[in-house]
Structures are given as structure tokens and as C-alpha cells.
Amino acid sequence: MTLKEHWLGTVLSRDSSPVARISSLNNQLVSSSETGVTIWNTSDRSVTRILTSDSVDQVRYLSTNTIVTISRTGNLSYWNTNGELRRSVSISSHGSHTSMLVRNSNEVIIGTKTGKIVYYNSEGVVNRVEETSVEIVNMTLLQNNNLVTVDIDKKIKIYRSSDYTIIKTIDRSTESSQIKYITSGFVDSTEYIKYTVNSKLVVLNYNTEAVFKSIESHETIQAIQYVNNKIVSVAVSQVLYYYELSSGYMVERVSINRDILTLDSNTTHMFVGTKTGEISILQWVNKFVTTFTTIESTSETVIGTNTGRIAILNSKNIITKTIETNVQIKSMTFLSNFNLVSVDTAKKIKIWKSNTYDLVKTIDRSADTGDITLISTAIVSDQEYIVYTIANKLYVLNFNSDTILRQITLQTNENIVSFKYIVDRLSTVAVTRTLYFYYLDDGSLVGSNTVTSDVVRIIGGSINSVRVETTTGIQTVDVRLNTKRLFASESLNRTKLVAKLDPVVVRGGIVVPVPTSKILLIENKNILYERMVFDEPMVALKLLNETTLVAVSDQARMALIDIRSGLKIKEIHLGTKINGAIEAVIQISVDTVLLKIKSKLLSSFFFVVYLLQSNHSKFDF
């Protein structure tokens, strides 16, 4: 029996028998192996007592004074912590055991290969036997003490603690292989079920049955342990990985240098049982990801943590560089030149050079009242600005001169939860269940819309719609009534001229179609031109590329229009080729469009792919 100090922390070792299970309670730790059960005192790292020399698979603290074990021969035993055996009963008649849990310090729950769930009281008497007929692979408990099981058919079942009835069955049979380990825990205020399939860790919202996160460890997972809010530890071979679940990113990696078999934790430490019989006692990892952002062109991800670390991960989620700031990172974003912008809890906005991540500039905003929660960027009048939020206020910052261009206070006391620059001038601000649309150049509110669930973040959008991640999934919010029509009517100050067609956002402004088959280019509320396109009604107006629009009339004519001048580059007469009126045009590529045509003979639609350069249709259907 030895007690060694290790660079990873304290290592306990009684002999070389593989550690089967670990259970911790307060300052005590109990472990089981082929050579018996050992009680350890984790305060002074001493051996308190050896209960038995029998081979034991399962061990749990039932209470501060009682330990329960299951031997390989199928005996359920109740022990006082002073070493006295209180009771031992055979469970073999129920089938080979696969898992054991303790609930409320008075109930032992055992899952078996025959599909039985057997409930014992604190004296070893059977209270109930649930017959499922399918092998129970593993079990866990929710915070409300409801039992969660997973069987060999990959069905997750939740049983109500008060009456043992099944509340819910979640079918995960689409998983590629068997679910092996299962546990539960919180991410912020939401409780999730976490389970493993080979090398994959899945975080499942058991209320919606939606997968919240799927994390790939690239090697078979040997054990998992929920640590604290947002953090879960995953054992793979000889390495312990800590993942922050709200982002799915790894925040710590500890090499044990021994094959890991089992995990447990208390409020301060992680206990790692190994194949060589040693138990490593590690300090809790209390790092978690506070923010992250991605460079889409390189698939790099940058994460910021509560400890002030900024880590750059490549496309395989391997950390390639770290920056230590020692102050919690609140939010991050990228400028158009790919320089990274971060803001910390000290309200220091820092700009880091792309590629090297050397510090370029620090902007001190500590004089601002309140905590900065979000940071982003936006283009205002062809110049890039940093935008940050405090409570229900939006600040537009010139990062070259370190001056505030504009402060916008929302017409609500709710805190801003997300901000996104959409197109020139137009940005979206989200509070709990409302989106507000603002022009940043003058700070004016031009519209709003609502969502059905709480907003997590604004993903992106256009003048047509905004995609929003909510607590129940992705929602697409149509903003035509709140933005485009207001954009056009406000700029023209004559609402009646706005056509049924949607305006088209172009660089620096917006092109508005009007009922007389004209188009108007508006920039900064000024009409730069008004051009007649057709003699007949226009049925479609689309952006083909950065310099060209495509317009289609109801008489089967198509025009290519130069955006800056409003003049027609080319007009294509389609009437002799198509027996119908063109009702819409959809861009497929730079020089190819899909036409939607209503037949004149039949009350139906057909489609033609039209090649603009060759002036003919490629095929129709």
C-alpha cells in the first residue's frame, strides 16, 4: 500500500489491481477492484479501512455511514464504514448486473442484462422490480431524482421517482453504435442528458429530444463525469479531456500516463481510477469558455475563457496558439482584415493582429457605466466600427480615434442578448423575444419583430430575413414589413409609390421598384436616379452580381441593368420562346437564372434555366 505525490496531484495505490469503481462522499473515497474494497480519507490521503478482499464490481456510498457493494458473484452487500457487514443478499436470480445507483440515501437501484430494474431499500429488501425485457446498459439520475436508463436497443427511458412510471422514451436507434455511458448535468439553467457512442459525446435536451452538442474525441471514450455547470470530463485512453458544453470546446487536457477506467468527483476534486490500480486525485478544472468566434475562410475557431485565456483552434479543434490575459474574456469578434477584437471584464477592448495575434491596440472603456457584454463590428458610411453593448444600450466606437460615434438606447429595459450587422446601415439587436432593426448612421429604429422563444444569438441575415438561434431551435424571421418597406417608404416619403416587389439591397444603397415599371436608386435617403425599365408591369427584380440587376416583365422580357447608372445593358425578348408569363426569376449562378413561368394554356407553372451570355434557354421542366 503506497501513497505517492505525483506532478498531476496525489496518487493513491493499494496494489496493481485495476480500479473497477470509485465513489466519493465529503472527504472520504471508496474504491473497488478484484482484490476488494478500500476506504480512503482524501483529506490526509490515508487508507481508512479495507472492507473485503472479494472481487467487487460496483461500489457506492449509500450514506455517510453506509457503503453498498456488488461482488462479481452477484452479492449485494451493505457495510458500515467502520468495516461491519450489515447485510448481504444474492441478486443472481434477477440476472447479471450491469449498473448500480443510489438514490435519496435509502434506495439502491440495479440494472441487469435480463432487462430488469430492481429497487432495494436501505436494508436490502426488494421494493419493486421493473421488467423491460431489454438489457439495461447504464443508468443515471436527474436532479429531481427521476431515473434515466439506456438499453441495448439505444432507447433512453425516464422513470418518475415517486411512482416508478415511465415519463418518456427517447429513441436514439439512429446512433451508429451502442450507447455505453450516460450521465446528466446542467448547462446554465438547463439540464441535459449526456451519453457516449464510441468516440462521440452527445449532449441531449431530454425535453425537446434535440441534440444540443455532439463532441468528437476521435478515440473510444472510457468514462465520463459531469464536473460542474458547463464542464464535463471525458476519459480517452490515458488522457482526461475537459469540455465546456455551451461551446463544445476543450478547455483542458491532462495526461494521466496510465489507462483510465473510471471517474468520480466531489465539489473540489476529480478522482481517476486506472488500470494499474492507482487513483489520481486532481484539482477541479474550473475553466470554461465564455465566448467563441470562427473565421469561416480558414475554419479556425478562437475561444475565450473565464481565466483570461484566448486559444486559437485549427479546423480539427487542435489548439495552435494561446494568449494569457489573466482577465475573463467576455466577447470577441473579427474586423474585416481578420484582426481579432476582444473585450474583458475590466472593459478593455483589445485588437490582436491576424495570424500572429500580437497585441495591436488597447482601448480602455472602464469609464463606461455597466458591464460590456457583447462586441461586434458594423459598416457605417463605408467605414468599419466596433459595436459593443451595455445592458440595453448600443455603442458605436471608432477604433481608430477611440471615440464614440453614437450611443443608442433601446425602447425597452431588457438587456441586449445579441447584435448583428446585416447590410449597409441596417443592424439587428435582440432582447429576450424581440428583434429591433436600427440604422446605425443616425440611430433610428426602423422596425421590430418577435420570436416565439428566448433568443440565444442572431446568426445572420439580409434585408429579407434574419436567422435566429433560440432556446428551442433555429427560427427565420421575415423582416420585409419591418425593414424593406420602411426603408423604401421612409427614404421616399411617399409610401404609395412602393411596388409589391421587394427592394434590392446593393452596395451603398437600395434599388426600389415602383408600379410604373421604374426603378429608383436610393442612398442615404437621396434618390440618385429614376429609370423606366419596361412599358409593361415588372414581375421580378433580382441582384445578379455586385454591378448588375435582372428585371423581368410580365410580357416575357428580361433586362440586365447596370446598378450605378440604372441603364439597361442588354434586353432579351423571350416571348417567342416561352408560352407564358414570367412571374419570378431566381439566380443560380453569375450568368444563369431560373425563370418561373405561368402557362397561358394551363393553370400551372413551369421552369426554364436561361443562359444570359448565350441568349437561349438550356432546358425546361
As to burial, measured by CB atoms within 10 angstroms (0-12 exposed, 13-18 middle, 19+ buried), residue 170 is middle
Rounded distance between C-alpha atoms, residue 439 and residue 207, angstroms: 39
Task: Give residue 353's pLDDT band: very low, low, confident or very high (50, 70, 90).
Answer: very high
Question: What is the model's pLDDT at position 164?
Answer: 92
Contact 311, 242 (CB under 8 A): no
Contacts 24+ apart (CB under 8 A), 484-489: 486/446, 486/447, 487/426, 487/446, 487/463, 488/512, 488/522
In order of 69, 96, 362, 453, the CA distances from 72 in angstroms are 10, 9, 63, 50
Domain end, chosen from 256, 283, 310, is at: 283
Kindly give, in sequence order, each residue whose CB lies less than 8 Å from that of residue 270, ignoring residues fewer than 6 positions away: 225, 227, 233, 240, 263, 264, 281, 282, 283, 284, 285
Q: What pTM does this model have?
A: 0.59
Mean pLDDT (the chain, rounded): 84
Per the structure, the complete domain to which residue 231 belongs is given by 175-283
Contact call for residues 398 and 384 (beta carbons, < 8 A): no
For the cut 60, the answer to whether the pLDDT of residue 40 exceeds it is yes
Domain count, the chain: 2
The pLDDT confidence band at residue 512, using thresholds 50, 70 and 90, is: confident
pLDDT band at 488 (very low <50, low <70, confident <90, very high): very low
Nearest to 178 by CA among 194, 202, 197, 195: 197
Residue that is written with C-alpha cell 474583458 in the block: 344
545 occurs within a structural domain: yes
For residue 319, tell me if it sits in a domain: no
Residue 594 belongs to a domain: yes
Which set of grid coordinates corresponds to residue 403? 471615440
**Does the structure show a pLDDT above 50 at 617?**
no
Taking only the tens place, the pLDDT of each residue in 77-113 is 999 999 899 999 999 999 999 999 999 889 999 999 9
Could you tell me the CATH number of the domain that includes residue 255?
2.130.10.10
Residue 364: CB partners within 8 Å, gap ≥ 6? 347, 348, 349
Whether 221 is covered by a domain: the verdict is yes
How many Å apart are CA 253 and CA 550, to the nearest integer? Answer: 55
| Phi/psi of residue 365, nearest 5 degrees | -115, 25
Residue bearing cell 457605417: 380
Distance of alpha carbon 303 from alpha carbon 319, whole angstroms? 10
Residue 525 confidence (pLDDT): 64
Judge whether 150 lies within some domain.
Answer: no
Greater confidence, 608 or 21? 21
| pLDDT surpasses 70 at 424 | no
At residue 501, does pLDDT exceed 50? yes
pLDDT digits (tens, 9 = 90+) for 316-333: 767 788 899 999 999 999
State residue 218's pLDDT score. 80
C-alpha cell at 219: 478515440
Residue the block writes with cell 431566381: 586
Q: For residues 585 and 593, what is the distance between their CA atoms, to the nearest angstrom?
A: 7
The C-alpha atoms of residue 310 and residue 332 are separated, in whole angstroms, by 10
For residue 335, pLDDT over 70 is answered with yes
Domain endpoint, select from 283, 299, 317: 283
Please report whether residue 578 resides in a domain. yes
Determine the Cα–Cα distance for residues 43 and 400; give it in Å rounded to an integer.
55
For residues 503-529, average pLDDT? 78
User: Is 233 a residue whose pLDDT tops 60?
Assistant: yes
Question: So what's the pLDDT on residue 364?
Answer: 96
Percent of the chain at pLDDT exceeding 70: 85
pLDDT (0 to 100) of residue 601: 55
Cα(304)–Cα(375) distance, integer angstroms: 13
- Of residues 171 and 501, more confidently modeled: 171
SS3 content of the chain, % helix, strand, coil (to 5): 5, 60, 35
Q: Which three cell numbers stand for residue 120?
A: 432495494
Element (H, E) at 11: strand 9-13
For the segment 367-396, the average pLDDT, to the nearest whole number, is 92
Distance CA 171, CA 619 (A): 45
Tell me the average pLDDT across 342-358: 94
pLDDT of residue 537: 84
Query: Binning pLDDT at 50, 70 and 90, where does residue 491 land?
Result: very low
- Ranking 14-28, 270-284, 471-485 by mean pLDDT, the lowest is 471-485
| Tens-place pLDDT, residues 254-273 | 888 889 999 998 877 889 99
Phi, psi torsion values for 8, nearest 5 degrees: -85, -15
Check if the beta carbon of residue 266 is closer than 8 Å to that of residue 278.
no
pLDDT band at 581 (very low <50, low <70, confident <90, very high): low
- Asked, for residue 294, whether it belongs to a domain, the answer is no
106-144 b/e with 16+ CB inside 10 Å = b?
Answer: ebbbbbbebbbbbbbebebeeeeebebebbbbbbbbbee
Residue 389 pLDDT > 90: yes
Average pLDDT over residues 194-206: 95
The answer to whether position 159 is within a domain reads: no
Q: Average pLDDT, stretch 19-31?
A: 89
The last residue of a domain, from among 283, 298, 328: 283
**What are the pLDDT digits (tens) for 138-166?**
999 999 999 999 999 999 999 999 999 99
Taking each continuous run of H as one helix and of E as one strand, the counts in the chain are: 1, 60
State the burial class of residue 434 (Cβ atoms within 10 Å of its Cβ: 0-12, 13-18, 19+). middle
